[in-house]
Structure 1
Amino acid sequence: MALPFLFLLFLLPSLISLLPLAESQLTVNYYDKSCPKFPQIIQQVINDKQLSTPSTAGATVRLFFHDCMVEGCDASLLISSNTFNKAERDADVNLSLAGDGFDLVTRVKTALELECPGIVSCSDILATATRDLIVMVGGPNFPVLLGRKDGFVSKAEHVEGNIAKPTMPLSQILSIFASKKFSVQEMVALSGAHTIGFSHCNQFSHRIFNFSKTSEYDPAYNPKFAEGLRSLCANYTIDPAMAAFNDVMTPNKFDNMYYVNLQRGLGLLDSDQTFAVDKSTKPFVDMYAANQTKFFQDFAQAMGKLSFLDVKTGSLGEVRRRCDAFNVLKA
């Protein structure tokens, strides 16, 4: 169930108070006059896409997160590579991003360009679509401030060290989040987005095949869960697209089951399971497993904070005509 309207009224001023000067130019009603049908258009497109392709919500949330963590929330991840530039989306850690998120943004942009050409930025589309999809699959509502511009830079070499990988030591993951001004608790709350979406078998295959001399799979896994993953991913080297739901219990519902799963040995990725046992993260995992309302509140607050991470406004960005290309080709 989405958070009540009163919580939105409480959350909005707290988010605005966190805004640095540039980001303070963002407002919730940025398009009210220039593109008044923006909310209705984006809602219709995401409804159609999510209903036809249920993996869209998880794909879009992950796309948004990966975009914001590199260069800020400026749609730099949407840029396609060309002869002169290898863009962010072709960095190794981004190659597994599902195409449904990219496709959704393209569909929304196309519809908006017909209604109000050259007005709505791709970064605002991605931020709004992410929030709307979270709500659509049962997660909390939260205000999205608008007025971002699309960035001028997208380079694959800028990605390394800015996005956590599931096999990284927890200390390194915490360091990445700390560099973006996120606390340990905020990191654990944001990780709750793993309640939807999926991960490819090659991201956890080392945990289920030939794990050690004494065990075929990581003993931290629930044994039946491990056997199920071994069966599912048996041919992953032949078919790299093979994947498993991040939340095996309620894969298409945004809830706190991700944290409950961690307590039961059902954490899919290394980093997930580490959160459940490390002394710095375990208290938050236990708290969110026991209290979905608290998780929703903290997740909404952290997502609001993420959504204006290093945003571009004014002359620092542009409104792209196409989300996958800069308006002017850069050699």
Structure 2
Amino acid sequence: MRRMSFIGSMIWLSFGLLCCVKADLQLGFYDKSCPKAEQTISDFVKEHIPHAPTLASPLLRMHFHDCFVRGCDGSVLINSTSNNQAEKAATPNLTLRGFDFIDRVKSLVEKECPGVVSCADILALVARDAVGVIGGPFWRVPTGRRDGTISNSTEALNNIPAPTFNFSALQTSFANKGLSVADLIWLSGAHTIGISHCSSFSSRLYNFTGKGGQDPSLDSFYAANLKKNKCKSPNDNTSIAEMDPGSFRTFDLGYYKNVLKRRGLFQSDAALITNAASKSAILNIVNSPPEVFFQVFAASMEKMGRIEVLTGSAGEIRKHCAVVNG
């Protein structure tokens, strides 16, 4: 009873800062202007993600990266030009994939209702639906976002939380977006699916102090396995490793269990157990039914999707997600 009471309080905390996150969105925003929009998006995702289930993770990550830079405005989708290095060109976004998937969905929706549905909403809905197809949680996606017209690589580098962040830096990064410590903990759970390039964590294996050596907070057996089978040299920028070994295609509690064993891949993962309240929350979640994690993750995802959204007459509805309207 005490454990469930604690988890219940964490669910409440996940909702608690909605007052501080712009929320001019509504469920079914396109019911009259484009009534088939959400079904069209859902159908496409359900048709194609089963054939490419590993795409769910980068699509979810793309939504996260979008929301942390100028809010959830689809700016991560914009291509660079000769005069501007867009968010796509920033180091945190160089490994993103799935842009063509978003473009295909946008094309279908444009055929149904030209100039009505924003790329920002499409990205938010695709991320949710893709996670659902692989057996992950469902969360509500209120719509009505409009697309931003500014996309800057420096802003992306400065705003997207880095895998090298400690707990204090993570807390500050999330707080700057109106997100709580609870949101930080549960949104980190997205690392239960997907992979990472070695370049994002190899310093933990080979040069943690700047003079060689290994991160002492990393389980030695896990580190040895990574060196032997995944990232065989400190200069390996192409090899990959699963963020949740053993179940990286399944949305489950494996990530948190690994973090507690000091087997989180990133420094930012390891940081979650350097804070007493965060570690306590993780201990409680791994001892609760999986659906509890689904509930708190869903609450934090809905909250994140409201960050600094453009609504009303702000922004635009882009005709093509990669290009600002002429």
With the shorter chain as reference, the TM-score category is 0.7 to 0.9
1:39-188 equivalences under 5 Å are 39-97=38-96, 99-100=97-98, 102-188=99-185
Counterpart-to-counterpart distance in 1, 2:232 and 2:197:
12
1:213, CA displacement in angstroms? 11
C-alpha spacing 1:327/1:163, structure 2 compared with 1 (3 Å): same
Check conservation: 1:195, 1:257, Cα contact below 8 A.
Answer: yes
1:111, CA displacement in angstroms? 1.3
Check conservation: 1:138, 1:253, Cα contact below 8 A.
Answer: yes
Indicate the SS of the match to 1:199: strand
1:237, CA displacement in angstroms? 3.4
Check conservation: 2:23, 2:306, Cα contact below 8 A.
Answer: yes
Check conservation: 2:22, 2:306, Cα contact below 8 A.
Answer: no
**Counterpart AA for 1:18:** L
Q: Which residue of 1 aligns with 2:187?
A: 190
C-alpha spacing 1:326/1:23, structure 2 compared with 1 (3 Å): same
Counterpart-to-counterpart distance in 1, 2:17 and 2:181:
21
Listed as ranges, the gaps of 5+ residues in structure 1 are: 1-10
| Aligned pairs, number | 312
Check conservation: 1:72, 1:309, Cα contact below 8 A.
Answer: yes
Deviations 1:204-231 (A, max 9, x none): 1112235579996434333442232112
Q: Does 1:298 align with 2:296?
A: yes
Q: Does 1:18 align with 2:18?
A: yes
Deviations 1:240-284 (A, max 9, x none): 331111111211111121111111232111110121233242112
Q: Which residue of 1 aligns with 2:271?
A: 274
**Counterpart AA for 1:325:** V
1:59, CA displacement in angstroms? 0.1
Deviations 1:34-84 (A, max 9, x none): 222222221222123322222211001110001001100000110001012
Q: Which residue of 2 aligns with 1:260?
A: 257
Q: Which residue of 2 aligns with 1:232?
A: 230
C-alpha spacing 1:117/1:251, structure 2 compared with 1 (3 Å): same
Output the aligned Cα RMSD: 2.5
Indicate the SS of the match to 1:237: coil
Q: TM-score, normalised by structure 2?
A: 0.88
Check conservation: 1:46, 1:104, Cα contact below 8 A.
Answer: no
Query: What percentage of aligned pairs have identical amino acids?
Result: 39
Could you tell me which of 302, 311, 321 is aligned with 1:323?
A: 321
180-189 or 160-169: which moved more? 160-169
Check conservation: 1:23, 1:313, Cα contact below 8 A.
Answer: no
Q: Which residue of 1 aligns with 2:7?
A: none
Q: TM-score, normalised by structure 1?
A: 0.87
Counterpart-to-counterpart distance in 1, 2:211 and 2:143:
54
**Counterpart AA for 1:316:** A
**Counterpart AA for 1:183:** S
Listed as ranges, the gaps of 5+ residues in structure 2 are: 1-10
Q: Which residue of 2 aligns with 1:4?
A: none
Counterpart-to-counterpart distance in 2, 1:52 and 1:242:
23
Deviations 1:72-109 (A, max 9, x none): 00001100010121111112222222x22x12211111
C-alpha spacing 1:212/1:65, structure 2 compared with 1 (3 Å): closer
Deviations 1:280-307 (A, max 9, x none): 4211221222223332221111111111
Q: Which residue of 2 aligns with 1:207?
A: 204
Indicate the SS of the match to 1:250: coil
**Counterpart AA for 1:27:** Q
Q: Which residue of 2 aligns with 1:6?
A: none
Check conservation: 2:53, 2:134, Cα contact below 8 A.
Answer: no
1:21, CA displacement in angstroms? 9.9
C-alpha spacing 1:215/1:241, structure 2 compared with 1 (3 Å): closer
Check conservation: 1:137, 1:254, Cα contact below 8 A.
Answer: yes
Check conservation: 2:167, 2:274, Cα contact below 8 A.
Answer: no
Indicate the SS of the match to 1:152: coil
